Structure 1
Amino acid sequence: MRQGAVDSLGVGLGIFPLGFALGLLVIQADLPWWLAPALSIVVFAGSVELLLVSLIATSTPLLTIAATVFALNFRHVFYPLSFPVQVIKPGIRRAYSIYAMIDEAYATYVLMPPERLSSTRMLTGQLLMQAYWVAGGVLGVIVASFLPTPIEGFEFALVSLFIVMALDAARSRNEIPSIVLAGFSVALAMVLVPEAPLLAALGIFTLTLVARFFWERRRRAESLNQDAADTPKDEAPKDGEVSDA
């Protein structure tokens, strides 16, 4: 258990402030205080919880909320393929480990040497990671309830978070086409489907990413074929000449 606690410490220092922001945002949005711990316990998905607060506060249609959450968390479908969940015995413990497989837990344990992994260590680490998140949300609710007036502009915290994430991804030039496609998708959705631009933008962006994937795969295949065609072949020995072999 001590090793799991150590594993969770660095993660906790990072996600506790986000949980705190979640609690503040819930109160700022005039939502029930219990929504912060409820989301932290039931959903436990980091930035998605912050987004859910904004969507709930603006009475976003359920279909749009479901599609948005699915798009943002779709990567979790692939996490169990490499996450060492087999270390944990089947049953409630393994089910919880899969449920609590946030990005930070995945990054902590997926590269850890197998001989250092244990069921107790992983479960302790994941439980404490969620505890940091829940505690941050509860503290945020408490602090926000004592503030005399709402914090102006705090609702922009979620937008700021996603801007930082986008800029971090944009450091790689390979992601510039994705950013361009995202901007194109939003603009097209606002023109074609102004009543539900978010859902439409997600759909258009997904289709453009799929098209980009197949186009790049085809381009790589053509490049390999061209390189193979340009590679000079060994000339056959002429009559009367003796091969070096």
Structure 2
Amino acid sequence: MRQDVPTLMTAPAPAPVRATRHPQIAAGVRDSFSAGLGIFPLGIALGLLMLQAGLPWWLTPALSLATFAGSLELLLVGMIATVTPLAAVAMTVLVVNFRHVFYAFSFPLHLVKNPLAKAYAVYAMIDEAYAVNASLPAAERSAPRLLAMQIACQSYWVGGGLVGVAIGAALPAPVKGLEFALCALFTVLTLDAFRSRREIPSALLAGASVAVALVLTPGVALFTALLLFVALLLARHALAVRWSAAEAADA
């Protein structure tokens, strides 16, 4: 009597990592386009300001690669040109970039496993990258997509700075009003993030934090507003947890 020999079921071979990584990288580059529309002109403004301040042209790409912080770099141009004391520069860096501490609470650094890649993700965690990532659904986020978006953003910044240096060298007179480019970029990113999330309570809390900070501590309004906003968000979260527990107990 013939007995059937059981056949071993072999699992299908997994898809190559590279095949799934390329679409994610392409998606990350596409994600950067909206921020790039503001980052590239802002880089041009940095290059122009650098030359108008009488600083060497090579300082623009060097600063963009070493620091990569748009608002801080624009402030550093004037500080370097006027030889500001190091203590004042350090305090300015702390106040301006202190907001990045709060970005780490919700920025998906856990997706990046490679130590070097994670170090770069921390280094390139700028406002624009945070805003673009915040507008993405959590299910669509990945390490290749995040890193591709950050690398593209830095490319726009460094490239814009070099273009600004070239334009500044060709212009016969200085250009005024370039400082407003940073404020305009942040406004656009805020509106874009609000349209994608529709977080009206958070927007109201942020507005209230800024208003109180401008009244109480106008000299360090940004620093105070960030601390107050975080405190309000924590209080809101605690109330939401308490309400959820109370509804579960009543059910």
TM-score, with normalisation over the residues of structure 1? Answer: 0.68
Query: Which one of 157, 160, 163 corresponds to residue 136 of structure 1?
Result: 160
SS of the residue 1:149 aligns to = coil
The offset of 1:182, in angstroms, is: 3.7
Identity of aligned residues (%): 46
Aligned to 1:146: 170
Query: Which one of 178, 202, 209 corresponds to residue 157 of structure 1?
Result: 178
1:41 aligned partner, one-letter code: L
Aligned to 1:89: 113
2:39 aligned partner, one-letter code: I
Aligned to 1:175: 210
User: Is 1:61 the counterpart of 2:85 in the alignment?
Assistant: yes
The offset of 1:23, in angstroms, is: 0.2
Asked if structure 2 preserves the Cα contact closer than 8 Å seen for 1:16 and 1:133, the reply is: yes
Whole-angstrom distance in 2 between the partners of 1:5 and 1:206: 31
Query: Which one of 18, 21, 27 corresponds to residue 51 of structure 2?
Result: 27
Asked if structure 2 preserves the Cα contact closer than 8 Å seen for 1:21 and 1:140, the reply is: yes
Structure 1 residues 161 and 14, CA gap change in structure 2 (3 angstroms): closer
Aligned to 1:18: 42
Deviates more, 1:106-115 or 1:24-33: 106-115
Structure 1 residues 176 and 80, CA gap change in structure 2 (3 angstroms): closer
Q: 1:175-210: CA deviations, max 9, x gaps?
A: 333212344x4xxxxxxxxxxxxxxxx5xx699x49
Q: 1:20-40: CA deviations, max 9, x gaps?
A: 000000000000101111111
User: Is 1:106 the counterpart of 2:130 in the alignment?
Assistant: yes
Structure 1 residues 95 and 139, CA gap change in structure 2 (3 angstroms): same
1:92 aligned partner, one-letter code: L
The offset of 1:107, in angstroms, is: 1.6
Aligned to 1:40: 64
Whole-angstrom distance in 1 between the partners of 2:136 and 2:186: 25
Structure 1 residues 162 and 179, CA gap change in structure 2 (3 angstroms): farther
1:38 aligned partner, one-letter code: A
Whole-angstrom distance in 1 between the partners of 2:39 and 2:160: 8
Aligned to 2:15: none
SS of the residue 2:104 aligns to = helix
TM-score, with normalisation over the residues of structure 2? Answer: 0.67
1:34 aligned partner, one-letter code: W
Whole-angstrom distance in 2 between the partners of 1:173 and 1:95: 34
Whole-angstrom distance in 2 between the partners of 1:35 and 1:89: 33
Whole-angstrom distance in 2 between the partners of 1:92 and 1:149: 43
Aligned to 2:144: 120
Asked if structure 2 preserves the Cα contact closer than 8 Å seen for 1:45 and 1:102, the reply is: yes
Whole-angstrom distance in 2 between the partners of 1:181 and 1:165: 23
Aligned residues: 192
Whole-angstrom distance in 2 between the partners of 1:160 and 1:132: 15
1:57 aligned partner, one-letter code: A
Structure 1 residues 18 and 159, CA gap change in structure 2 (3 angstroms): closer
The offset of 1:92, in angstroms, is: 0.6
Unaligned segments of structure 1, at least 5 residues: 186-201, 221-245
Whole-angstrom distance in 1 between the partners of 2:150 and 2:185: 25
1:86 aligned partner, one-letter code: H
Select the structure of larger CA radius of gyration: 1
